[in-house]
Each structure stands twice: as structure tokens, then as C-alpha cells.
Amino acid sequence: MKIYFFILLFFISLLSCSEQQSQSFNVISYEMKVSYDTLNKNLKVKSIMHIKQTEPKEKISFRFTSLARITDIQLSANDKNYPVSYKFNSYSIFIDIPAQFQEYKQLSLHIEYQIPIDMFSHNKIFSVSDVNMWCPFNYEDITTIKLDIETPLNYEAFSTGDLLFSTSDKNHSYYTWKNENINGYLLIISPKNSYSISKKMIDSKELEFYFVNHDTSITNNVMNEFCKSFHCFNTIICGYKDDKLRLYEIPDSGFYAMTSRKSIMVGSLMLAKKNRISYERSIKSIFKTFDKLKNKSIFPEIVNNSFNNDSADTNYIYTQNLSWISHEIAHLWGYYYYKFNTRLYKFVTEGLAEYIRWMYIESEYGKDSLNTYISDLKYLFSKNCINTIYDIPVSMAGPSDAIQYFKGPLIFHYVRKQIGKENFISFIRTLYNKYFRKAIDYDIFRMELSKYDKSGKVIKRMEEMTEMTGELPPDL
Ligand SMILES: [Zn+2]
């Protein structure tokens, strides 16, 4: 169960509720020139989005935040420039295309805007990610993103993807980052030396850890679980296809973690589990009562090393989340480039990633641990969720729904039992290898799974289970 992800999920759900993306164009590339203005407390962004129209359109819309203060929008095609008018609703921007531009196949949209630094800054470290929608491109079809960043000399910048270039002059540092996918886009600007960096080589891949936290008992535990689960997925599923994987700590930004290509971002509170009160509150918001549990320590060796035993129930929940970081790593194999509004989006992203984490628990801590864990989850679920407002279909899962981290993986457990472990792993491996860096939808997911379910019965039952309430998936 990933209590922490609810903050992230909340934002994602808001995104899902926003206007459906127009299908009349593709975003070919996106370039941003960003300067970090500490004096005026602004992140200034000049962006150019290159668009290929597939049909003439009077309006186009993007998911974007209304927090951005737009200073200018212009369209250009064939060397003609034109200022355009736009409207915002809470999470989208709607841009009118002037008549003379509507017929052009290729358009460039120039958007200049500013993001207030204060809203996203902790201990002078500024960070925004795709959940902040700091740039208007939650798009599946974008091919490249180029990010040029200018910071004052005593600051440094990190982003998702590859650092192509960095240099400095008297007053500023300059960085160029390139990224090839848009699922998760991060920018961190921090005073130099805010981060301590550790590197580990696992299975010939470079794992890098960017921590603000200096408590080595915390960071070592996280690195340890990170390396173990990374190695596990490499071994039981298939080799990780990128060269690097980084973990960034995002200072004080709450209980959340998220994964994008080559990088995993974790809020400090989640990393350190420092704030027990807000942590427990987030659990209690899901479980109305906090039941006493018989089995408190599935992973006693880690529990004893990590936490004080001053609250049995709390420790139980902690133990379930000891390998929380493996959920994020599982996303890398659990295929997370699903088209944004695809059917059963939460089920195929969060449910599958969480089930892959369960496979790590099984592999690392044994079959009995997984079975105990599942029976505890079922107990918790039956006791606290069924017949409450939290008992909604997985297919409807939204903000603060524990359901997608319970029932979602339970349904995948059913699928795996039906088609067999080898087939199930082969299915995940195919998704990872065949569709690497491509955005897919539920139809492709279903088609690949159907190769292991010739009669279609398992998929039919799986889909039925995503619609049900009031009970747990049977036949487990
Ligand atoms: Zn997740």
C-alpha cells in the first residue's frame, strides 16, 4: 500500500478531470529557455512548442497550470508571427488560432511565462515537477524536450533526462538538458553543494542518489532497498534498458514519490518518515479505525534496525512500506507511458507497479512473507474499506483511494495465478521491451495480455473485478 502516493494521485486526478486533450495535432518538440531570478523571485520561461496539425483547428488546448503568469503568447508559421488570445480554466489553457494560421500544418507556439519561486521553494531549493504542471506539455506524443537553464553562479540545476552541456561565466551557470518523454518532468535548482551524491553500480548500471538528508541511517536504508529491488527486477523480469537511474530527494515537499524516465523523486518527509503525526493522519484518512493486528513484523530485521517500537500498529504499517521505494522502481518495468486518459489508467499504472513490488517482496523475503502480507491487506481492507465510502471500483479510483493499491494488485495476483508466473512475467517483459519509450493505451495492454489468455476468460474476469465493490476478488 502506498499511502504516500495520495498527494501525487490527487494532482494526477485533477489532471484527469481536465478537458480532454485535442487530437488534432502532435507536439513535435518543445524547447524552453529558463532563467532563475532570485532577485525578483521568479522562474522565467520562454518556450517554443513545435506543432504538427493533423486537421485545421480554431482552438487548441493544453493541460497547464493557472499558477503560471503568462506574459506573452505568439504563433508563428512560415516566418509570420501573430499574438494570440487565450483563456484558462483551472488546469487547461485554450488558445485561439487566427484564421490565417489554421491551414498551416506546422506551427510554432511561443509562450512566455513566470512561475513564482516562493511557492515551490524549501531551504532555498526550488523544485517543480510535472504534477505542478510548470510547463504545458503533459503529452504522449512529444519527441524531444530541450531545456536551457540559466542560474546565478552559486546555484546548480538538475532535470529529468540527460545533461548535454554545462558551463559558467562571471555571473551565471548554464545547463542544457535533453529529454525524450514527457511522463514526469522535473526541475530542481539548488544552492551549490546542497546535495550529497552517492553512486552505486548494480548490474552494470549507474545508480545515483541525490540526498539533502544527512542522516545516513535513513539514506542507507533507502539506497539498500533501492539497489536490491533494482537488481531483483533486472533478474526476474529483464535488464533495465537505460544507462542510469537517479533518485532525487525533494526537500520538505511532503509524502510523495514519483517516477519518470531515469529518475525517481521522493519528498523529504516520506524519505525520512520524520513526521509521524502527519504520516499517521494520512493512513487514518484511509482506514477509519486503526485496528490492532496480530502479525506485526513481516520483516523484523529491518524493523528493528529502522524504527523504535513505540507503537505496534504504526510499526506494522511501516513494515509494509519498508520496500516502498521498490514501488517506484517497479514503475520503470510496469510500463508507465500509458496514454493519459486511457481506460483503466490507474489500474494499469499503479495496480501493476504495486503488484511488481509484491513480486519483489516474494523474491526477496519469501513466498510466506507475500502470503502473510496479502492476507493482512485483505483483513485490513475487509475491516476498514468494504461498505465505506472508500469502497469504489478500481476502474473509478481517484484521489486518496487506497483501492488501487489494494484491489488493483490483488486483481493482478489473480491474473498471475490464472496464467502462471512465467507467463505473467513474460507479459511484463514484452510490454517493457516492445513498447520502450512509446506511449500505449489499454487496448495494447489488453492485446498483449490476451496472448496468454486464449479463451479470454481471465481478462473478462479481470475487467469484471475492476468494476466491483463490496467484496474482494475471489479465487486467490
Ligand atoms: Zn506509483
Domains 5-12+203-467 and 22-138+144-179 share a fold: no
Cβ burial 23-40 (10 Å sphere, 16+ → b, else e): eebebbebbbebbbebee
Ligand 1: centre distance to CA 9 (Å): 9
Ligand 1: centre distance to CA 352 (Å): 9
More reliable by pLDDT, 26 or 329: 329
- State the greatest distance between any 2 C-alpha atoms of the chain, in Å, as a whole number: 71
Ligand 1: centre distance to CA 328 (Å): 6
Measured CA to CA, the distance from residue 396 to residue 345 in angstroms comes to 10
Could you tell me the strand order of the sheet in which 59-63 lies? 59-63, 92-96, 86-88
277, pLDDT greater than 90: no
Would you put residue 292 in left (φ > 0), alpha (ψ -120 to 50) or beta? beta
Question: What fold is seen in the domain 22-138+144-179?
Answer: Immunoglobulin-like (2.60.40)
Ligand 1: centre distance to CA 77 (Å): 40
Does pTM surpass 0.85? Answer: no
Ligand 1: centre distance to CA 357 (Å): 10
Cβ(230)–Cβ(244) under 8 Å? no
Arithmetic mean of pLDDT, 257-270: 83
Ligand 1: centre distance to CA 16 (Å): 16
Give the least confident one: 164-178, 281-295, 394-408: 281-295
Ligand 1: centre distance to CA 206 (Å): 22
Ligand 1: centre distance to CA 182 (Å): 16
Ligand 1: centre distance to CA 323 (Å): 13
Ligand 1: centre distance to CA 313 (Å): 24
% of the chain at pLDDT higher than 90: 37
pLDDT at 118: 86
Ligand 1: centre distance to CA 417 (Å): 23
C-alpha distance from residue 438 to each of 53, 66, 419, 453 (Å): 20, 29, 26, 24
Ligand 1: centre distance to CA 10 (Å): 12
C-alpha distance from residue 137 to each of 5, 68, 133, 184, 461 (Å): 22, 13, 8, 10, 36
Would you put residue 358 in left (φ > 0), alpha (ψ -120 to 50) or beta? alpha
Retrieve residue 250's grid coordinates: 525533494
Ligand 1: centre distance to CA 450 (Å): 24
Ligand 1: centre distance to CA 72 (Å): 36
- Indicate the burial class of 350 (C-beta count within 10 angstroms; 0-12, 13-18, 19 or more): buried
Domain ranges of the chain: 5-12+203-467, 22-138+144-179
Give the least confident one: 7-11, 166-170, 385-389, 396-400: 7-11
| Homologous superfamily of 5-12+203-467 | Neutral Protease Domain 2 (1.10.390.10)
Instruction: Check the CA dihedral 313-316-322-327 and report its sign.
Output: negative
Q: What is the pLDDT of residues 187-230, one digit of tens each?
A: 899 999 999 999 999 999 999 999 998 888 888 888 998 999 99
What confidence tier does 18 reach under pLDDT thresholds 50, 70, 90? very low
328, pLDDT greater than 70: yes
Q: What is the pLDDT of residues 357-408, one digit of tens each?
A: 999 989 988 888 788 778 777 776 777 677 877 778 888 876 556 678 788 9
Instruction: Check the CA dihedral 365-371-374-376 and report its sign.
Output: negative
